Amino acid sequence: MGSRRWSGFVGSVIVALVVAGCAGVPVWIDPVPLPTGDAATVLAALPVKGRAPRTGYDRDEFGQSWRDIDRNGCDQRNDVLARDLDDVEYRAGTQSCVVQTGRLADPYSGRTVAFRRGKDTSADVQIDHVVALSNAWQTGAQQLDEDTREQFANDPLNLMATDGAVNQGKGDGDAATWLPPSRNFRCPYVARQVAVKAKYRLWVTFAERDAIQRVLGACPGQELPPDSGVAAS
């Protein structure tokens, strides 16, 4: 979809949301396919607004953690570990589902992290919500229905394995407050945030937009990542 057509479409959607919102009716519309191409162009088409209150936010508002969203018989945590780790070995008897060990070339930090499932070791590798759930709640997810929020929280597009300590340091930060320590990964990282926000019709704050623009300024033409193939409800 060309940038002008995409911008015009988003503009008409925003008008519809504003009109319905003024009537006091929570609204949501069926999402369009994730646009392809330049992350900066798609960023420019995203709505820019202030952060909504965190009132009412709870992890439970985003449904079941690690639901088997693609219905392949494995939960999303194991799917992401299998996707992002090298030298993966699975627990016997789980039909190549439960990841037992592996090695993560962590894009966030540039370090290599060993993963071994266990009470004291599983947290060495954690799954990051690239767009944090709290951030999503304050930038439009309150308007999504429960099924769509659960899709959002489990969509592989919004999930990446990373070093546990790095993930804890990020917390619920957005691009204005946190970026990956590895500068080499900052462009793909913010491009993925743009992709997620576009897919789920979330907005960016002014500070968030400016921070993403600064990062993308160092990598003109940075493309969005391919969509996960999981359709938002």
SS3 103: strand
Digit-coded pLDDT (tens) for 127-169: 999 999 999 999 999 999 999 999 999 999 999 999 999 999 9
pLDDT category of residue 230 using cuts at 50, 70 and 90: confident
Distance CA 78, CA 47 (A): 34
SS3 52: coil
The residues near 76 (Cβ < 8 Å, ≥ 6 apart) are 66, 67, 68, 69, 127, 154, 156, 159
pLDDT category of residue 185 using cuts at 50, 70 and 90: very high
Quick one: how far is CA 222 from the chain centroid? 17
Digit-coded pLDDT (tens) for 3-20: 444 444 444 444 444 434
Q: What is the pLDDT of residue 6?
A: 44
pLDDT category of residue 120 using cuts at 50, 70 and 90: very high
Residues in the chain: 233
For the chain, domain boundaries: 3-71+126-216
The residues near 45 (Cβ < 8 Å, ≥ 6 apart) are 3, 6, 7, 10, 198
Rounded to 5°, the CA angle 98-100-102 comes to 115
Q: Where are the alpha helices (DSSP H) in the chain?
A: 3-22, 39-45, 76-84, 133-137, 146-154, 164-170, 186-199, 206-216
Distance CA 75, CA 30 (A): 25
Cβ proximity of 222 and 187 under 8 Å: yes
Q: Is pLDDT at 27 greater than 90 in this prediction?
A: no
Q: What count of other Cβ atoms lies within 10 Å of the Cβ of residue 32? A: 15
More confident residue, 22 or 158: 158
